[in-house]
Amino acid sequence: MPGLSTPRTSALLALLLTAALTGCSAVSSDGSVLGIITPYRIDIVQGNVVTKEQLALVKPGMSRVQVRDLLGSPLLTDPFHGDRWDYVFTIQRPGTQPQRRSIVARFEGDRLLNVEAPELPSEREFVALISRARGGKVPPLELTAEERAALPVPPKAPAPAPEPEAGPLRAYPPLEPN
């Protein structure tokens, strides 16, 4: 085969091989390209956040509706295990380890038997954990007494309109003769 081993073909093959090998090493372990460009990565939050305060309100003997009102709808309900609700929470953020918490509520009929849960953070701890504020400063979760006093007073509701007198507004002829 003439022309297959020409210097030009050899140089082209060497160039392609070098480009292919360089392309593999251009992306670093942190995801940046050539150490300059870092692609945007979003936070992935899935499931139900359940805090210590919420779990403290849940007591054995509560109905399914009461548990749902306190913890929210379960992420997993298995038709083959109707007596079990799974509340799963996961969060993946760039630059941090993924977190996963799983809470299992077991029922007998319509009544709660027990709840299996790992050590859960309080609401303040959870906010501090996911806060993007610089310096780790947690934003306030409640208004102070001074901030409450500074709020405008809501307008008073207008008095209800008087009820109209009973009886027809128009006189209609009878539907059937008497």
The per-residue pLDDT for range 63-73, each reduced to its tens digit, is 999 999 999 99
Q: Which CATH number does the domain housing residue 82 bear?
A: 3.30.1450
CA dist list (Å): 87 to 19, 60, 81, 92, 103: 48, 17, 14, 17, 5
**Residue 88, Cβ density class (10 Å: 0-12 exposed, 13-18 middle, ≥19 buried):** middle
Instruction: Flag whether 106 is in a domain.
Output: yes
Instruction: Flag whether 81 is in a domain.
Output: yes
pLDDT tens-digit profile of 102-147?
999 999 999 999 999 999 988 888 887 776 544 556 667 788 999 9
pLDDT at position 64 is 92
Instruction: Flag whether 112 is in a domain.
Output: yes
Instruction: Flag whether 8 is in a domain.
Output: no
Distance, CA of 61 to CA of 34 (rounded, Å) = 59
Instruction: Flag whether 4 is in a domain.
Output: no
Instruction: Flag whether 69 is in a domain.
Output: yes
Instruction: State the DSSP code for 56.
Output: H
Instruction: Flag whether 87 is in a domain.
Output: yes
Overall pTM > 0.95 = no
- Give the helix/strand (H/E) hosting 89: strand 81-92
Instruction: Flag whether 12 is in a domain.
Output: no
Number of domains, the chain: 1
**For residue 104, what are the domain limits?**
44-128
